[in-house]
A and B are shown apart, each in its own frame.
Chain A
Amino acid sequence: MNQNDDHEHADTERLLRRVRPTEPSTQLKALVLQTAREAWPGASTNIPWQIPIRRLALSAVAATVLISLANLYADHASGHEPAAIPIAEHVEPCDPEVMTVPNASSIRYVVTTVRSIPTDASILSNHLEEVRETLGATERDEKSDGPDPIERRSRLHQIPSSLNS
């Protein structure tokens, strides 16, 4: 404000000072003080340092609720199951007495496994060898009873040596 402004403002202020705002009355003072004293016991117990902490806690709760709602909405919108992997809470111990009937999956497993085992050629050749020896012994017994030419000779072929290996 320059000096000219101050001078003009001083004139205006002088005019304004011919009046003044009314003062608060003594009745008003008594009324206000009485009302204020009545309100004294109900004062807010907010301690200043608690206010930001409480605001922070409220913000955290609000954020958690919002994120949960967003996740719920996303699951609902995509039609998927909740992302959490289901985990068995506990596993019952296997009681052999109770398991008298094997379940279908166990049977299927056993059959598949047995089928997949390759045939062991040595077992087969051993078995054939036993049969051949038995027949040979029978043949010798018949020979001791009387000579019999070629027709009674065993017709089993010699097992190739490769099967024995």
Chain B
Amino acid sequence: MARDDPIAVELIWNRYARDLFAFLLASLRSRHDAEDVLQTVFVRIVRKRRRLAQADSLDAYVYTIARHEIVGFLRQRRRKPTPNVQADTWLETAETDGDRTDLIEEMQTVLARLPQAQREIVVMKVYRDKTLREIAETLKLSLNTVASRYRYGMEKLRTLLKELGS
């Protein structure tokens, strides 16, 4: 980025794409929307690459861009609701014993009951193996805020999963 080399885009992709995509899926709960926003985020990163090259924390800068794009996307959706949108699948099974559509739907339903802020942290912690401190630095939040959101989120998930009999 500092050398203004287009190859940097691929390096940024290799470093952030999976984590960012999971974060976007947790926020938007739609694979299709997450793909659209990820594309916008990368264009934004490219356009702000000179500032990005001098940022104190690259992770925080990238996730700040992503959060702004999520807010803008959701605001635009509230303003112009798209008719006949089918909820698409944003989770897939991690087990090797074939298609578990029921499990996926169950988990999506449970995670959808969490507030967005708690869901983002749970997904980053559980699925991307981030520590609470890393999440706090990435999202520019205090460690206590991240820890409490994670705890409330997990308690709520546990209650919901018990109700479902998992």
> Which residues of chain A have a CB within 8 Å of any CB of chain B?
1, 5, 8-9, 11-13, 15-24, 28-29, 31-33, 35-37, 39-40, 42-48
Q: How many residues of B contact A (CB 8 A)?
A: 46
Contact with A along B34-52 (1 / 0, CB 8 A): 0100110011011111110
Measured in the bound complex, the distance between the Cα atoms of B9 and A29 in whole Å is 11
| A15-B47 in contact given A20-B127, A33-B13 (Cβ < 8 Å) | no
> Which residues of chain B have a CB within 8 Å of any CB of chain A?
6, 9-10, 13, 17-18, 21-22, 25-26, 31, 35, 38-39, 42-43, 45-51, 54, 89-95, 100, 103-104, 107, 122-123, 126-127, 147, 151, 154, 157-158, 161, 166
- Chain B residue numbers with a CB within 8 Å of A1 are 147, 151
- Chain A residue numbers with a CB within 8 Å of B89 are 22
**How many A-B pairs fall under 8 Å by CB?**
116
Of the candidates A11, A16, A31, A33, the one whose C-beta lies within 8 Å of that of B107 is A16
| A21-B21 in contact given A8-B158, A12-B158, A16-B126 (Cβ < 8 Å) | yes
- Chain A residue numbers with a CB within 8 Å of B9 are 33, 36-37, 40
